């Protein structure tokens, strides 16, 4: 956790830099559809990220407008041996109803000596983090599951990014081919963490 804390403020700085760069683009939200897509970073932003100590971090931008009685649910979900074992973190009851290049992010840092995985979840209101033990993990893989712009459909989750680990020699398959759907390659990993977003009905 000491290593993670050392780089945490720099991660936030990069997060804010990405947010500022996108805020200079179109001012008005031109559609009521909610869309999400990977955010392309500048060379300067990539350089800053390389100094954070994180193995992987991916940004996404959210645009559009929530209709009346709609909400967004953002989840960090854990899978063990291909089975969903529950939420690590989640957020809903979104106070905003309009989004213009709103930044979401997912980052990981594997601490070999501590046998821990630190996971960052960037949400509209800030950044949350959690730590998972990875005692028997010898090989890991990570990446963006979403590689194109996609429209959010109520009740249909969009998978953004994931981390996978196994005690075996390798993990075969590619997360990017999932195109926002559940990545089947996660079924062969002993431990996986995935970040997803779902348009849902707002609870009264």
State how far the alpha carbon of 15 is from the alpha carbons of 36, 56, 142, 198, in Å.
Answer: 17, 13, 19, 22
Can you name the residues that pair with 100 across neighbouring β-strands?
none
Question: What per-residue confidence (pLDDT) applies to 11?
Answer: 53
Rounded Cα gap, residues 104 and 82, in angstroms: 25
Q: What is the pLDDT of residue 204?
A: 77
Q: What is the pLDDT of residue 72?
A: 96
* Residue in 98, 82, 99, 78 with CA at minimum distance from that of residue 90: 78
Q: What is the pLDDT of residue 200?
A: 96
Q: Which residues, other chains included, contact 1 with Cβ-Cβ below 8 Å and sequence gap of 6+?
A: 114, 116, 118, 131
Q: What DSSP element (H or E) covers 23? A: helix 2-23
pLDDT digits (tens, 9 = 90+) for 55-105: 789 999 999 999 989 999 999 999 999 899 999 999 999 988 999 999 999
What is the chain's pLDDT, residue by residue, as a tens digit (204 residues)?
444 444 444 455 455 455 444 444 444 444 458 999 999 888 888 888 877 777 789 999 999 999 989 999 999 999 999 899 999 999 999 988 999 999 999 999 888 888 899 999 999 888 899 999 998 888 888 999 999 999 999 999 999 999 999 888 888 777 877 789 998 888 888 999 999 999 999 987
Q: Which residue has the tokens 């089975």?
A: 83
Question: Dihedral sign, CA of 175, 177, 179, 181?
Answer: negative
Residue 49 has what pLDDT? 80
User: How many Å separate Cα 25 from the centre of its chain?
Assistant: 22
- CB of 158 within 8 A of CB of 196? yes
Other CB atoms closer than 10 Å to residue 185's CB: what's the count? 21
């Amino acid at each position: 956790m000491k290593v993670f804390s050392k780089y945490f403020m720099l991660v936030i700085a990069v997060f804010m830099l990405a947010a500022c760069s996108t805020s200079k683009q179109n001012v008005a939200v031109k559609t009521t559809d909610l869309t999400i897509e990977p955010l392309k970073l500048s060379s300067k932003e990539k350089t800053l990220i390389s100094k954070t100590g994180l193995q992987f971090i991916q940004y996404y931008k959210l645009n559009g407008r929530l209709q009346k009685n709609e909400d967004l649910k953002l989840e960090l979900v854990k899978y063990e041996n291909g089975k969903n074992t529950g939420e690590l973190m989640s957020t809903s009851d979104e106070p905003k109803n309009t989004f213009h290049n709103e930044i979401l992010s997912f980052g990981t840092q594997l601490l070999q000596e501590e046998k821990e995985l630190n996971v960052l979840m960037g949400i509209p209101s800030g950044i949350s983090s959690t730590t998972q033990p990875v005692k028997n993990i010898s090989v890991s893989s990570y990446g963006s599951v979403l590689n194109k712009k996609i429209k959010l459909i109520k009740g249909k989750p969009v998978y953004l990014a994931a981390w996978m680990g196994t005690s075996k020699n390798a993990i075969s398959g590619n997360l990017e081919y999932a195109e926002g759907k559940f990545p089947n390659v996660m079924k062969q990993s002993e431990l996986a963490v995935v970040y997803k977003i779902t348009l849902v009905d707002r609870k009264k």
